[in-house]
Amino acid sequence: MTIKKCKICGANLENTFNAREMMFGIRKEFPYAQCSNCQTIQILEIPKDIASYYPEYYYSFKQYVPPITGLKAILKRLFKKYRIRKHRHEILDQLQPLNILPTQRILDIGCGRGKLICEMFNYGFKNIQGVDRFIPQEYQHGHNVKVLQNDLSELKNDSYDLLMMHHVFEHMEEPMNELAKSYKLLKNNGYLMIRIPVVNNAWSVYQRDWVQLDAPRHFFIHTEKSINIMAKEVGFTVTNIVYDSNSMQFWGSELYKKDISLIDEESKEFRKPDDFFSPAEIADYEQSAKELNYNNKGDQAIFYLQKKEYEKVI
């Protein structure tokens, strides 16, 4: 059945358009529309065969998971961190506004095989797990770093200090429900960090060729307004928003404009921008993305949501 109302705020959908599957170059078209109120772009009908659009070599499942090596690796990484600033892992910057302690309990939702949680363990986070409903089996990486196969509703409530969703929220069919489940899992004052593409400048410029539409895998492309509506409904406080777009918003969309897929159909590898654009062009794209981020107009962002429950005054 085709959806006609916004699943976030209930307002009418408008500006229906067809977006093409271009990551793998299948080029099949899927109808999307934009909400007249919260501006969220959403797919009108979730394909019944959606699983077939996540082939085995899809990046979440083909990631290199570093071995967990404990103290030695931590010291080595910490040493590196101070020695070569540019090798600092981006997760450390992303977590900076939260003051998360190494002993606090962290869950990475939709983590694939657990690449990030293993890297974070090697950076000193001691109490970290992942969960992904779509993995073929549970993964045990050692030192109690494991990836669970559960639905969020099956995990223990009030038990996490930080939940992370790195580019998975836009793939969820019922975002409000997932947000409500996340809220329950958090301890009081705990945080949910959501990294997602957002409707912004790149959408205005590239429209159906915008790389982050990623039809049909992205069911919702959110806006600040839609996240605020959902956060309020569930009880979260949005404490901070950081835009973190990069040059791909330009070069990926430029490739789609030229009818070139993101993944090479032959090698099954991601295409390299250097094969299509000059170093000056890529530097220009990187600079433009930085400027857009500075002005809150980048095409992806990190939303920091806090569970703040106040004690009842008797």
75 in Cβ contact with 266 (< 8 Å) = no
> Is the preceding peptide bond at 102 cis, omega within 30 degrees of 0?
no
Range in contact with Zn ion (rule: CB under 5 A) among 30-38, 130-138, 213-221, 295-303: 30-38
Check residue 172 for interaction with Zn ion (CB under 5 A).
no
Binning the chain into helix, strand and coil, the percentages to the nearest 5 are 35, 25, 40
C-beta closer to Zn ion: residue 42 or 247: 42
Check residue 38 for interaction with Zn ion (CB under 5 A).
yes
| Residue among 19, 32, 34, 37 that touches Zn ion (CB under 5 A) | 37
306 in Cβ contact with 236 (< 8 Å) = yes
Range in contact with Zn ion (rule: CB under 5 A) among 28-36, 69-77, 147-155, 239-247: 28-36
Range in contact with Zn ion (rule: CB under 5 A) among 11-19, 112-120, 164-172, 185-193: 11-19
Nearest to 89 by CA among 97, 75, 78, 98: 78
Check residue 9 for interaction with Zn ion (CB under 5 A).
yes
C-beta closer to Zn ion: residue 11 or 260: 11
C-beta closer to Zn ion: residue 106 or 230: 230
How do strand 300-307 and strand 186-197 relate by DSSP bridges?
antiparallel
Question: Helix or strand or coil: residue 261?
Answer: coil
Check residue 3 for interaction with Zn ion (CB under 5 A).
no
Shortest Å distance, C-beta 8 to Zn ion: 4
Name 305's bridge partners: 192, 238
Tell me which residues in 233-262 interact with Zn ion (CB under 5 A): none
Measure the CA–CA gap between 126 and 129, rounded to whole angstroms: 10
Residue found by looking up tokens 């593409």 in the block: 197
| Residue among 35, 116, 120, 305 that touches Zn ion (CB under 5 A) | 35
Range in contact with Zn ion (rule: CB under 5 A) among 2-10, 22-30, 53-61, 246-254: 2-10
Q: Number of residues in contact with Zn ion, rule: CB under 5 A?
A: 7
41 in Cβ contact with 213 (< 8 Å) = yes
Measure the CA–CA gap between 251 and 69, rounded to whole angstroms: 37
Contacting residues toward Zn ion, per CB under 5 A? 6, 8-9, 11, 35, 37-38
